[in-house]
Amino acid sequence: MNKFLILAPAAMLAASTAFAASHSMAPMVEASDQSVANGIVSADMVQAAENGWLVVHRTDADMKPGPVVGHAPLRGGENVDVAAILTEDVKSGEMLMLMVHSEAGGMSTGVFEYTLGATEDGPIKPDGNLVMTVVTAE
């Protein structure tokens, strides 16, 4: 019985450390080129430090975020197979920037309030860099 008491705290500490490590991963977006014929663009995995949004921007070879054409809510932590419904037609060959945005600064929680250039629900920028990836619609 004493062995259980000695091992239990060690096991709890290891589990807590693993949980903390998994939740302190750097924010990121993983996605690949895909068909958008069904009106959806998906990210395979999104890592977010807190609740926020996966936002789909139009972009081009200049790699600057353009108008928003879709978004989906994110939970803090790891999000798998995140699907954003497109609000505009996207043609095969167009480039889309999938970017992590915050839930901060808006008037309402759970309502996506960002417009291009605004601060409400704006993009996160750890170390001054956007958290995003670019895919091409097929």
pLDDT in tens, 47-56: 999 999 999 9
Q: What is the pLDDT of residue 102?
A: 96
Number of H helices, E strands in the chain: 1, 7
Residue corresponding to tokens 């921007």: 57
The average confidence (pLDDT) of the chain is 87
Which token pair is 117? 């250039």
Q: What is the pLDDT of residue 105?
A: 87
Does the model's pTM come out above 0.95?
A: no
pLDDT tens by residue, 66-125: 999 999 999 999 999 999 999 999 999 999 999 999 999 889 999 999 988 888 999 999
